[in-house]
Amino acid sequence: MGGYGSDRKWHYHAKETTEDYLALDINYLHQNNLLYSTHQFSLTWSRNDKPRGSISILCDRDQLTLVYRHQVRGQSSESITCPVSLSWSNCHFGGRRPWFHCPVRKCNRRVSKLYGGKIFACRHCQRLAYKSQRESSLDRNLRKANKLRDKLDWMPGILNPTGNKPKGMHRATFLNLQAQHQKLLQKACEFTSIELKLGDDYFD
């Protein structure tokens, strides 16, 4: 069951979301051991098995050079070369963590993700919102309730029956998740006229 209001149309001037853009994640590059000097590689993005974009990346010690094509609808594509500075910070438990520095002039914000447009830039420079920021209070509570239902191995959707304690789950954990689920249902009911009937076994 989808959350109530999940099909709302957002007003014309609403920000696009990070999910609408191609994202380059520094943590993904680091975890896959791609950030070493003179290394050159390519990445591709796809959705539903359909290609969305590709990029070539040349690594130097303190910089990445991004090479890709950008196209505005109705115009021919152009080749873009975008240098992006890197920095590293020490982790509390050892090791180092890399960061992008947004290449937009006067920004230079340290970030873990860049989002593609004519240039790859931080979320703030691209004026992007997170998808969760567009949720209503009702949709947010329903989404959280469904996450709990997934942990409890219950069927998604607050109008579906609740279930028993999953096999292998500690009873204290089950009661805690169950209580959280009940609170979210009560909050959701504040936004709707739906009367939810909870079985007697819900509180067992």
* Domain of residue 150, residue span: 135-203
Same domain, 90 and 110: yes
Alpha-carbon separation of residue 19 from 49, 79, 97, 116 (angstroms): 16, 24, 24, 11
Residue type, 115: Y
Q: Which of 129, 145, 161 is the last residue of a domain?
A: 129
- pLDDT above 60: residue 204: no
pTM above 0.85, yes or no: no
Query: How confident is the model over 38-45, as a mean pLDDT?
Result: 92
Cβ distance 116 to 42 under 8 Å? no
Q: Tens digits of per-residue pLDDT, 84-133?
A: 999 999 988 888 999 999 999 889 999 999 998 888 999 889 888 756 55
Instruction: Judge contact between 51 and 32, C-beta under 8 A.
Output: no
In contact, 180 and 196? CB cutoff 8 Å: no
Structural domain contains residue 5? no
Among 129, 159, 186, give the residue marking a domain's end. Answer: 129
Give residue 176's pLDDT band: very low, low, confident or very high (50, 70, 90): very high
Tell me which of 129, 152, 170 is where a domain ends: 129
Q: Are residues 164 and 102 in the same domain?
A: no
- Number of separate domains in the chain: 2
Q: Cα–Cα distance between 181 and 152 in angstroms, integer?
A: 10
Residue 8 lies inside a defined structural domain of this protein = no
**Cα separation, 28 vs 73, whole angstroms:** 30
pLDDT of residue 110: 95
Q: Give the integer Cα–Cα distance in Å for 51 and 67.
A: 17
Q: What pLDDT shows up at residue 195? A: 42
Q: Could you report the per-residue pLDDT of 12-34, keeping only the tens digit for each?
A: 334 566 677 888 999 999 999 99
